[in-house]
Amino acid sequence: MIRVSVIGAQGRMGASVVEAVKAADDMEVAQTIGAGDDIAAVSPANTDVAVEFTVPSASLGNVLSLVAQGVDVVVGTTGWTDGKMEQVKAALAKAPRADQAVFIAPNFAVSAVLADVFAARAAKYFTSAEVIELHHPDKVDAPSGTAIHTAQAIAKARRDAGSAPMPDGTQGEAASRGQVVDGVHVHAVRLQGLNAHEEVLLGNTGEQLVIRADSFERSSFMPGVLLAVRAIASGSHPGLSVGLDTLLDL
């Protein structure tokens, strides 16, 4: 049994992780930590992997504490910067175990991660590409981090292939053409009734490919979280790893 502690266990994602771990045949819930609890309660004596879903302002501190305590961590909290990741790498270099692991995934939805990968693969075959992300109205950021990542992946694939800049219309109000991320137009829709959705439109003269990922509810993230817990518990990914795509056999 993989012993899983959940940090942020009373939050929306944390509570879902607790339920998903309880439902998994090969895992059990160890410690559940909320905002007021002492994270020092999570140790190798009771935990194989800690799953961290809290708030961006607390996540780095939690991860550094867990690493220092000798615990492997799977992180879903957003807001990670290169600078924060460097601090995690430095902590891992001094960690109690040489094979200690931290895995960070900005998006645990397998559909969204695959949409990203497929869009990047398709990009060089098309003259034009645009991204439309659609979310519930309470989402704090726009465009979504995933859409920005998709646009950057498309742009990199086009650069690597030596594609010409996209020839698409720039007429009209700039704001109505979305945010330009690395040369790729990204549009953000906020609408009651939606959850998390992304569409990548790829166009050539006379044809279009649409890649669409729909996350209808929080449960969509749980297969990705459990996949990461199993991978990290197996010891196959020591050090810092970022992105669910690194764990999928692509």
Closest CA to 32 of 44, 45, 14, 48: 14
Q: How far apart are CA 18 and CA 135, in angstroms?
A: 25
Binding segment for ligand NAP among 7-15, 162-170, 176-184, 232-240 (CB under 6 A)? 7-15
> How many CB atoms lie under 10 A from the CB of residue 242?
15
Per-position x/- string for 221-240, each x denoting binding to ligand NAP as judged by CB under 6 A, each - no binding: x-------------------
Distance, in Å, from the CA atom of 110 to the CA atom of 247, rounded to the nearest integer, reads: 11
Is residue 136 part of the annotated active site? The answer reads no
Task: By CB under 6 A, name the one of 5, 76, 147, 184 that touches ligand NAP.
Answer: 76
The region of 32-40, 66-74, 118-126, 199-207 touching ligand NAP under the rule CB under 6 A is 32-40
Indicate whether 137 belongs to the interface with ligand NAP (CB under 6 A): no
The only residue of 14, 21, 100, 186 in contact with ligand NAP, by rule CB under 6 A: 14
Report the nearest approach of ligand NAP to the CB of residue 205 (Å).
37
Helix, strand, coil share (%) of the chain residues, nearest 5: 40, 25, 35
Q: Which of 105, 119, 155, 247 binds ligand NAP (CB under 6 A)?
A: 105
Structure tokens, 206:
């006379």
Closest by CA position to 16, among listed 230, 235, 224, 198: 224
Is residue 135 annotated as part of the catalytic site, yes or no?
Answer: yes
Residue position matching structure tokens 């742009």: 155
Shortest distance, position 106 Cβ to ligand NAP, whole Å: 6
* Alpha-helix residue ranges (DSSP H) falling in 69-216: 82-93, 110-123, 145-161
Which element (helix H / strand E) includes 202?
A: strand 196-204
Which residues, 205 to 224, sit near ligand NAP by CB under 6 A?
A: 221
List the interface residues with ligand NAP, window 108-127 (CB under 6 A): 108
**Interaction of residue 143 with ligand NAP, rule CB under 6 A:** no
User: Which positions are catalytic?
Assistant: 135, 139
Enumerate binding residues for ligand NAP (CB under 6 A).
7-8, 10-14, 33-35, 53-56, 58, 62, 76-78, 105-108, 221
